[in-house]
Amino acid sequence: MATAATAAALTTDADGVAEVRVERDGPEGPKHGTGVDRAQQSAAGTATLIPGDPAPPLANFEGISNNDNFNIFGGRVNPPDPVGAVGPNHYVEMVNLAFAVYSKTGAVLLPPTDIGALWAGFAIDDCTDPSGDPIVVYDHLSNRWILSQFTTRGLSSTTEPFYNCVAISVTGDPTGAYYRYAFTTGVNFPDYPKYGLWTDTYVITT
């Protein structure tokens, strides 16, 4: 357990700057690197300004909104948890309970749709519920789309497990077919799931 730093733990450099560190048992470990800390400065610097206006956006269009939750389900969800990802030819956007697919110029390729429809006919029917915390990631290494949501039936049951429902596109077309998966977290609510990718691996944290 960390304890408060004491006066004995303070060291002062040639500029009179004191470094506060947490007290540790035993001798201090070896130091690696003896160069100047370039993040440390004793005076304010000046920024170099580059003249000219920022480049205009390549595209600007209205995407999915919380009103689409209302249009599909008859109610809005606050906050709407908007999230989106861009691929070579598509933009996929999700709000809490719905998703849509656009071309990169803003043409609607798949209108706002219930996220649960991705798991229609799936063995874990909890995934068909409109639950929330959607995530969309474009896998640029494999040209695939990852869409997910968690399940919430466990919030009203002591025996119902929670799941992260994950859909991975079969091709690089997010309007096409998906492989569907459900990863259980048991009785632990998988709030705020996040995804990482590698050449042969997807990693979920929650």
18 has pLDDT over 70? no
pLDDT tens digits along 28-41: 566 665 565 556 65
Exposure class string for 76-99: b at 16+ Cβ within 10 A, else e:
bbeebbebbbebeebbbbbbbbbb
pLDDT tens digits along 157-200: 888 999 999 999 999 999 999 999 999 999 999 999 999 999 99
pLDDT tens digits along 98-121: 999 999 999 999 999 999 999 999
Q: Are 104 and 160 in contact (CB under 8 A)?
A: no
pLDDT tens digits along 64-96: 998 998 899 998 888 889 999 999 999 999 998
- CA dist 87 and 172 (Å) reads 9
Domain ranges (residues) in the chain: 81-205
Q: Are 175 and 109 in contact (CB under 8 A)?
A: yes
> Whose structure tokens read 């390729």?
109
Q: What is the pTM of this model?
A: 0.73
27 has pLDDT over 70? no
- CA dist 92 and 149 (Å) reads 14
Q: Which helix (H) or strand (E) holds 202?
A: strand 202-205
